[in-house]
Structure 1
Amino acid sequence: MAQTRRQFRQYIRQQRNQLDETIQMHAAAQLLSQCQTLPELAISQHIALYLSNDGEIDTQPLIELLWSQGKQVYLPVLHPFSPGHLLFLHYHQHTPMMTNKYGIFEPKLDQTQVKPIEQLDLVFTPLVGFDSQGHRLGMGGGYYDRSLARWFATGVGPTPIGLAHDCQHVERLPTEEWDVPLPKIVTPSRIWHWEFKH
């Protein structure tokens, strides 16, 4: 199972990294159009996003749209004392940034800027791959699975929505019991939607 998941990650990341700049820009514009139709986005004020990395679909246009609408944007930061967990910090044009241990930009830790996840309305999650049942394959650290575990168990907390390129879809992924499936995943060509009973 672990080997297969690793192979899936390798294969999908390879596909994603082969997308050239023009395709990436076009995909980001299409993703933005799809996201603008989300009813969840219209009613949300406090929204967690992430900065694209490793060939991920570009989230910058979406972040800038939210800023222009006066919405509050938050980014994940690796928890300094609780390994495997995330904090979400308020993010604006002048937020001081740093590189975390994975080489990903994140806001410099400032406790006054932390928003408890229960107070977020929406969490856009990165993913390596997803399947036709709504299962999400992350990078393997389990950060988002832990962050979203309460929502998955009870339905309480911010709604998670995945963002991905179309090439990140596979028919079926190998899953583990701690994996948190997503109710919606947005790609440039469509919005995938599943019903989950909590």
Structure 2
Amino acid sequence: MGGWGQAWNSPDSSRAPCDFFFFFFLIFRAASVAYGSSWVRGRIGLQLPAYITATAVWDPSSICDLHHSLQQRRILNHQVIAHSQYLKSKRISIFLSMPDEIETEEIIRDIFQQGKTCFIPRYQFQSNHMDMVKLASPEEISSLPKTSWNIHQPGENEIREEALSTGGLDLIFMPGLGFDNCGNRLGRGKGYYDTYLKRCLQSQDVKPYTLALAFKEQICLQVPMDEHDMKVDEVLYEDSPAS
């Protein structure tokens, strides 16, 4: 059996049930964002294993919250700030984190302290189009309007410098729900980052380095991919090798 079935035949069999249940949790989370939690309860909930259904139906983030320790966040922030790709990059895009993602506030502050240029996502929710627009300061974030995902971002009609129009990007920090050590990534189903990375390849002579930020519990044996998905160059998490 290929794909996720390989987890059950893996030499690391003690980890297999965790990966299996986490895979179903990732499906639940992605569908919750795309269609709303009530749709997921009606269409998916009864098909999930009992453990996932009992936990996730009440609070889709509760499983992930069990693993979101401050220690992991601090370790990852230190890894990023010392990372060779981060140190040499001048133009950086970084996501504004959701509650179930690695918090990026400290990294954003360091970007400005180091005199680098910071860009953040501006999503168009009626499509899969996303721009990376310039952020003036870390303090500006709290004044930006919130989207339906409860993420701050500049308004669609606000004129801002877009990264690909003014020199491109050196480094892109990537969010996601799940990752494997081959660079495969499970996003939230809209394809924003996959589409944007393809635009980068068309606009820049040198591809930006892509660095995913993850909790170690988000690292899976294998993430399913299709022809439209773009791999990340590196997944950074608590136990990942130093770069």
SS at match of 1:111: coil
- Taking a change above 3 Å as real, the CA distance of residues 14 and 130 of structure 1, as seen in their structure-2 partners, is farther
RMSD: 2.9
The alpha-carbon deviation at position 132 of structure 1 amounts to 2.5
- Taking a change above 3 Å as real, the CA distance of residues 137 and 181 of structure 1, as seen in their structure-2 partners, is same
Aligned to 1:165: 215
Measure, in 2, the Cα distance between the counterparts of 1:191 and 1:102.
Answer: 32
- Taking a change above 3 Å as real, the CA distance of residues 152 and 115 of structure 1, as seen in their structure-2 partners, is closer
The alpha-carbon deviation at position 191 of structure 1 amounts to 4.1
The question of whether the paired residues in 2 share the 8 Å contact of 1:30 and 1:189 is answered with: no
Identity %: 24
The alpha-carbon deviation at position 180 of structure 1 amounts to 0.6
Gaps of 5+ in 2: 4-19, 30-60
Measure, in 2, the Cα distance between the counterparts of 1:15 and 1:44.
Answer: 35
| Cα shift readout 1:25-71 (whole Å, capped 9, x = no counterpart) | 22121001211232111111111001110311111111111111111
Of residues 103, 106, 117, the one that matches 1:61 is 106
Gaps of 5+ in 1: 194-198
Of residues 146, 161, 185, the one that matches 1:113 is 161
Measure, in 1, the Cα distance between the counterparts of 2:95 and 2:213.
Answer: 10
- Taking a change above 3 Å as real, the CA distance of residues 11 and 84 of structure 1, as seen in their structure-2 partners, is closer
Measure, in 2, the Cα distance between the counterparts of 1:38 and 1:151.
Answer: 22
SS at match of 1:123: strand
Task: Single out whichever of 113-122 and 148-157 deviates more from structure 2.
Answer: 148-157
Of residues 96, 112, 127, the one that matches 1:83 is 127
The question of whether the paired residues in 1 share the 8 Å contact of 2:67 and 2:217 is answered with: no
2:112 paired with 1:99: no
Measure, in 2, the Cα distance between the counterparts of 1:155 and 1:182.
Answer: 18
Aligned to 1:136: 185
Q: Which amino acid aligns with 1:100?
A: T
Aligned to 2:229: 179
- Taking a change above 3 Å as real, the CA distance of residues 191 and 59 of structure 1, as seen in their structure-2 partners, is farther
The question of whether the paired residues in 2 share the 8 Å contact of 1:151 and 1:159 is answered with: no
SS at match of 2:210: strand
The question of whether the paired residues in 2 share the 8 Å contact of 1:17 and 1:55 is answered with: yes
- Taking a change above 3 Å as real, the CA distance of residues 130 and 90 of structure 1, as seen in their structure-2 partners, is same
Measure, in 2, the Cα distance between the counterparts of 1:187 and 1:85.
Answer: 28
Measure, in 2, the Cα distance between the counterparts of 1:6 and 1:19.
Answer: 15
- Taking a change above 3 Å as real, the CA distance of residues 27 and 186 of structure 1, as seen in their structure-2 partners, is same
| Cα shift readout 1:60-118 (whole Å, capped 9, x = no counterpart) | 111111111111111100137x7201111111123541112322221234323322276
Measure, in 2, the Cα distance between the counterparts of 1:155 and 1:17.
Answer: 40
TM-score normalised by structure 2 residue count: 0.67
Task: Single out whichever of 134-143 and 85-94 deviates more from structure 2.
Answer: 85-94
